[in-house]
Amino acid sequence: MTKFLSSILVIFAGYFLFVGASECFGLDEEGCLTCHQYPGLVRLEKKNGVKVLHIDEEKFFTSPHGKFRCKQCHTTIAQVPHTGETSTDCTTECHQNDAKKISTYPLETLHQKEQSYLISLKDQSSCRACHPIYPHSNNKLVRSFLNMHTGFMFCEVCHIKRGKVNHLVYDWEDTENADFSGEPFGTYFKPRTNKAHKADEHFISRIAVFSMAKGKKQGLMNTQDTAAANEFMLRKKNLKPDAKKKELDYFHRDIEKKEI
Q: What is the pLDDT of residues 186-221, one digit of tens each?
A: 887 666 656 655 555 577 889 999 999 888 999 999
Per-residue confidence (pLDDT) for residue 192, from 0 to 100: 61
For 13-47, write each residue's pLDDT tens digit. Answer: 444 344 444 444 446 888 899 999 999 999 887 76
pLDDT over 60 at 227, yes or no: yes
Per-residue confidence (pLDDT) for residue 239, from 0 to 100: 96
Confidence of residue 237 (pLDDT cuts 50, 70, 90): very high
For 243-254, write each residue's pLDDT tens digit. Answer: 999 999 999 999
Per-residue confidence (pLDDT) for residue 97, from 0 to 100: 84
- CA distance linking residue 61 with residue 149, whole number of Å: 26
- Contact between 133 and 150 under an 8 Å Cβ cutoff? The reply is yes
Output the 3-class SS for 62-130: CCCCCCCCHHHCCCCCCCCCCCCCCCCCCCCCCCCCCHHHHHCCCHHHCCHHHCCEEEEECCCCHHHHH
Among positive and negative, which fits the CA dihedral 62, 64, 69, 70? negative
| Triad 228, 229, 231: Cα angle to 5° | 65
Phi, psi angles (nearest 5°) of residue 15: -60, -50
Mean pLDDT of the chain: 82
- CA distance linking residue 227 with residue 233, whole number of Å: 10
pLDDT over 70 at 115, yes or no: yes
Q: Please give the model's pTM, rounded to 2 decimal places.
A: 0.76
The winner for highest mean pLDDT among 98-102, 129-133, 224-228 is 224-228
For 92-101, write each residue's pLDDT tens digit. Answer: 888 888 878 8
The mean pLDDT value for 147-176 works out to 89
